[in-house]
Amino acid sequence: MTATDARRLHTTTVGDSGARVVFLHGLFGQGRNFTQIAKALEPAAQSLLVDLPNHGRSAWTERFDYTEVADLVADELRAGFAADGAVHVVGHSMGGKVAMLLALRHPELVDRLVVADIAPASGGSLGEFAHLLDSLAALDLTTIKRRSDADEQLAERVDDPRVRGFLLQNLRAHGDTFHWQANLDLLRRSLPVIGGFPDIDGATFDGPVLWVAGDRSDYIRPDEHGPVMRGLFPRTTLVTIKGAGHWVHSEQPEAFVSVLRHFLDLPDAPA
């Protein structure tokens, strides 16, 4: 990917006034996953919901590389949403790693950073994601006539209907046939890279950082990950949201919005 590829990122804007906030989704996701959160921040904030490469309506690539993705997001922001100055950036899981690299490599673009349920380290429950990717790839799309057919097939491998609904957002109809919007083959091959974090040559980000964990998730382990996080982001504050797993923003949206408002110094929504 090169700088000229920035046009390939699909984005959606929610709101038209207030602080500027960029949302970067996780694996299997797309920008619109943050629509509810973005609408809850109005009118205090206008939000940019980004489809990262190989997800949503953004273009597919031949490989997955966190540094390239972060640079691509930087190009997109410079060309528009952050043309007038630094913006707040919120990233979840894979998108949280992109957000961290964006802040480390392009600190002039980032005012405040929010990292949701991920650490700047290798590891995490990759087996779960491998299972989900394999489950999607196993669906026989030639036999699917309606979305409910796909849900029925997927239920044989994925019990939770909420998880199935989230995954099947990636299924798109084209005439009488269905196809995957996400680049499942590349993502499956790239899981070791997605689960890792690239080396940063002494870079740090000195702006305020909110590190948000779900109390039912093991992706953030403070004793193990805290020193690494603080080494890269000296002004880090860790907040744990009760009753939330890895998808903290969708499992506890009100609590997530509350911590965002407080950290980003946004006024409360009008009654």
Within 12-65, where are the H helices?
A: 35-41
Q: Are 116 and 99 in contact (CB under 8 A)?
A: no
| Side-chain-facing half-sphere of 256: CA atoms under 13 Å | 28
Angle at 262 (CA atoms; ends 260, 263), nearest 5 degrees: 65
Catalytic residues: 93, 185, 246
Give the helix/strand (H/E) hosting 14. strand 10-14
Quote the DSSP letter at residue 159.
-
> Which two structure tokens, joined as six digits, stand for 140?
């026989």
Contacts of 254 (CB under 8 A, 6+ apart): none
